Amino acid sequence: MRRKGFLIALLLLLVGAEGSLAPESFNQIPAEYQASWLMGWPGALGLGDLKANYPGYFYKVDPSVEMVIQGEFPRCRYISYVAHDIQNRVIGTLHDSEIAPDPGSINPFLPGADWNAPNRKYTIIIRFTPPPPGKGPEVVRGMQAARGNIMYVGAQADGSPNPGGLLAYRRYLPSQGYDFNGGVPMPVIYYRRVSDGSLVKPPISNMQQYLFFIRAFSSGIKNAIKSREWSNRAFGREQKEAVQWHRSPVVGAENPDTVYLIAKIKPRKDKLLVFRWKAPTFPDTYHNKGITGKEDVRYWSMCFAPATTMTVFTLADVDAVISQDGFVNLVVGFGAEKPAKVKPENGYTWVDLKGKNIRFLLYRNMVVSPEFKFSARDVPAGELVIDQIGDYLPRAKWVSSEDF
């Protein structure tokens, strides 16, 4: 009953949060032909990143129509569209730099592009058929493919017919002075007939959206439980280190562009947890500077969560103090007193998690450069990560405030 009441309350939140489409920005699509995003997905679920926002849209497969998304590239660190099948498995994805801009526009996520360009529109087409045979410019994610700006969602990850699923729109770390919309309207979703291009009203109602949401949310909870159960088994053995990282095999909602490391800890109120690692380089889009293409990763962060796996704190790359030699010295307190010398000017990042009962850590690297050799992407899922990535592994030890 408690869970049912929670879901009802969540639906009420969604009803109040949907909308914000600004149709006048794109070809004057009449309002009755626009579909509505669900804006209230709980980003903290399953060790989610609190610097990110996850609008979603549930689609129903109908090969006679296609879904069109018209948007503008926002001012944020990363965006992507990820299509899930009815079993919540990833079947297609496009991230920012893979999206071709509309004629006359530019993609500011490309290396060297003008980050603040005013002309930044794009169009994506979702087709409700399996991907066609043959090869060409494509980004393959398992069974499915996104070719150009077209995603195919007619088949499930195992090749069977797909009746519908979730399209997730991820947005990470908006630039300074912007909200998660990044200074642009929410993308417009509408449908048109494949035969003649005429507009069609959305084939899935708001109520169906909410019912799909309950199903997907339940699946997300199950994945979070699986992640926790796997972690309990993996970390059931005695740990030799204060923090022992594994390549994560299960997360609440997979992002194919991300490498995840997970660790389990037992907070000590009388000790400080002191991390030191070399930070991958990243673009400074937060301060509205463009992407050079020479960065190690697009984004990194460390999330802290209790046994529920609902994140309570996220340390994003831009929030960390990084020394001239490229290292992060992170000091986390769970009740122990903050040492006087733990200050940004001394090269330290301080995080106070007193009373938070943290049990899990998740360290993510997103859009890792092919040239960057110190990522755990080649470590098998579930395996320990010890020396494979050298100084780029966040190593930690327990230290008393007096001995710091």
For 231-266, what is the HEC assignment? Answer: HHHHCCCCCCCCCCEEECCCCCCCCCCEEEEEEECC
Does residue 228 surpass a pLDDT of 90?
A: no
Q: Residue 371: CB partners within 8 Å, gap ≥ 6?
A: none
Judge if 257 and 353 occupy the same domain: yes
341: CATH: 2.60.40
**Are 81 and 172 in contact, with CB atoms under 8 Å apart?**
no
Q: What is the pLDDT of residues 322-374, one digit of tens each?
A: 999 999 999 999 999 999 999 999 999 999 999 999 999 999 999 999 999 99
Would you say residue 134 has pLDDT above 70?
Answer: no
Residue 21, pLDDT score: 29
DSSP β-bridge partners for residue 196: none
> Rounded to the nearest 5°, which phi and psi values hold at 321?
-80, 120
Structural domains of the chain, count: 2
Q: What is the CA 153 to chain-centroid distance, rounded?
A: 20
Model confidence, pTM: 0.86
User: Using 50, 70 and 90 to split pLDDT, how confident is the model at 131?
Assistant: confident
Instruction: Say if 404 falls within a structural domain.
Output: no
Phi, psi of 128 (to 5 degrees): -95, 50
Question: In the structure, what pLDDT confidence band is assigned to residue 210 with cuts at 50, 70 and 90?
Answer: confident
Mean pLDDT score of the chain: 86
Query: Mean pLDDT throughout 133-159?
Result: 67
Claim to verify: residue 215 and residue 237 sit in the same structural domain: no
Nearest to 97 by CA among 133, 143, 132, 146: 146
Same domain, 122 and 243: no
The CA distance from 375 to 380, in Å, is 12
Determine which helix (DSSP H) or strand (DSSP E) holds 139, and give its type and residue range: strand 139-141
Question: Minimum mean pLDDT among 195-209, 301-315, 333-347: which range?
Answer: 195-209
Which has more pLDDT, 129 or 249?
Answer: 129
pLDDT in tens, 231-249: 565 555 556 789 999 998 7
Q: Is the pLDDT of residue 93 over 50?
A: yes
Task: Reply yes or no on whether the pLDDT at 9 is more than 90.
Answer: no
Last residue of a domain, one of 219, 253, 276: 219
Same domain, 245 and 326: yes
95: containing domain:
2-219
Residue 61: Cβ-neighbour burial (10 angstroms; 0-12, 13-18, 19+)? buried
